[in-house]
Structure 1
C-alpha cells in the first residue's frame, strides 16, 4: 500500500485574492478521495461493520477533529460516521490517526498492506502447465467423438498405449479428482491471496486471476507471490 501522504501538509500560498488557500479539511477530503479509496473502504468495513460489497466506492464527505463522515456507494450513498478515538487536538494529528486506523482495520480484517491491482499472465513453464490442463479438458469434452470407426479411434489404436478403450477409461476416471483439485486450489487462492490483497470476489480482475489459476495451479500462486514481494520492496524503498 502506498504510504499515506501528509494529508495535513500546508497548501501552497495563494497567488491571487480570488484563489484563497484551501482549508485543511478540503485538502484532506480531496486527497483521501483521490488516493486512498481502499483505506476509506477499510474504515467502513471495520469501524462501521459493513461488508466488502457494501463498502465499495466510498467517498469522504467531511472530516473534523472528531471523525470522518464517509458515504458508502459513492457521493450520494448512505453516510457513516467514523470517530477519531481520542478526539484530535489539531489538523496535524489527522495523518497519524488515519494511518493507524488503516493498520488496525487491515489487521482486524486479515488483509495485507499490499494491494494487487493488475493481472500478470503465465510465462515459461506456467504456459506449459496451463496448456496441458486445457488439453485434458478438451479430451474430456470430446469423448463423445471417440467411437469405433472414427479417425480418432484409429489414431488412438496406433498411438495411445492401451488403445482407445483405455484412453476413454482414463479420461473419465481422473475427471472428478482433477476437477476437485483445481477447484480447491481456486478456493485457497481466493482465501489466502486475492481476498488478502484487495481483489474483490466477482470483479473482472478476480475472474481473470481465478480463471488462470484454475488451469495453471501452483504456478499462479508463485507468480502472485512474486508480485506481492515486488510491491513490498517498492513500498519499503519509498519509505526510506
Structure 2
C-alpha cells in the first residue's frame, strides 16, 4: 500500500510539473528547443512538454517531433525540478543571447501614437492605387474635386510614396521581429506576435517604443516579486 501511495504521489507531482510548464512557461520550453536542440524559432514555436523524468525532458516541436533534453546532473526527487528547469532556462537565455523577460501582451497606440497610426493607415489606403486620385473615384469626388492640382501631385508621387512606405515598414517590422520579439520569446505566429508585427508595419517606430515599455513593465513586476 505504501509503495502504491508513493507511486501515486510521484505521478501527481510529475503531472503538476508538466501542466505548469505547458500553461505558464512555454517560453522556457521554446528556449530549450532552440538552445539544446538548436531548432529554429519557427520549429520551436509550439513547444509542448509531454514527459519529464529525473533524467530528461521530452518536448514536442511544432512538427510533432519528440526531442529528449537531458537533465544534468539527474534529479533525485521531484522537489528538485523547479531549481533544475530554472537553471536550464538560465543557460538557454545566456546561450541564445535572449532575455528572461517574456512579453505576452500587445499594447495599442495611444496619444500621439494613435495619430501616427491613423495617418499611416490612411496613407496606405489612399496611395495603394493611382486611380484614387482620378475623377470618378470616391476619394477624388469626395475630397479632391476642388483641389485638382493637389490630386495631380498625389497621382504623380503615388507609386513612389506607397512603395517607399511598404519597403521601409517591412524592414522595420522584420527588425522588430528579430531584435525584440525573438529576443523576448514572443511565440512566432501567435496572436500577440502578429499584432506587434502588423502594428510595426503600419506605424513603424511607435510600436517598438511601446514594446520596450512592456519589457520595462515586466522587469518591474519580476523585481517586485523578489521583495
**Normalising to structure 2: TM-score of the pair?**
0.80
**Relative to 1, partners in 2 of residues 1:60 and 1:86: Cα closer, same or farther, differing over 3 Å?**
same
Which structure 2 residue ranges, 5 or more long, are not aligned? none
Q: CA deviation at 1:179?
A: 1.9
1:206 aligned onto 2:196? no
Q: Distance in 2 between the 1:26 and 1:172 partners?
A: 58
Q: CA deviation at 1:197?
A: 1.6
**Relative to 1, partners in 2 of residues 1:140 and 1:84: Cα closer, same or farther, differing over 3 Å?**
same
Specify the alignment match of 1:220 in structure 2.
207
What is the RMSD of the two structures over their aligned residues, measured on CA atoms? 2.9
Q: Distance in 2 between the 1:234 and 1:92 partners?
A: 26
The structure carrying a bigger helix percent of its residues is 2
- Aligned length in residues: 217
Specify the alignment match of 1:41 in structure 2.
30
Deviating beyond 6 angstroms after TM superposition, the runs of 4 or more aligned structure 1 residues are 17-21
Verify the 8 A CA contact 1:59 1:72 in the aligned structure 2.
no
Q: CA deviation at 1:202?
A: 2.5
Q: Distance in 1 between the 2:14 and 2:150 partners?
A: 76
1:111-141 superposed Cα distances (whole Å, 9 cap, x missing partner): 2111111212111111100111122122213
**Relative to 1, partners in 2 of residues 1:167 and 1:82: Cα closer, same or farther, differing over 3 Å?**
closer
Q: Determine which structure has more spread, i.e. the larger CA radius of gyration.
A: 1
DSSP-derived class of the 2:9 partner: coil
Specify the alignment match of 2:48 in structure 1.
58
User: Which of residues 155, 176, 186 is equivalent to 2:163?
Assistant: 176
**Normalising to structure 1: TM-score of the pair?**
0.76
Specify the alignment match of 2:70 in structure 1.
83
DSSP-derived class of the 1:196 partner: coil
Which structure 1 residue ranges, 5 or more long, are not aligned? 1-16
Q: Distance in 2 between the 1:51 and 1:173 partners?
A: 36
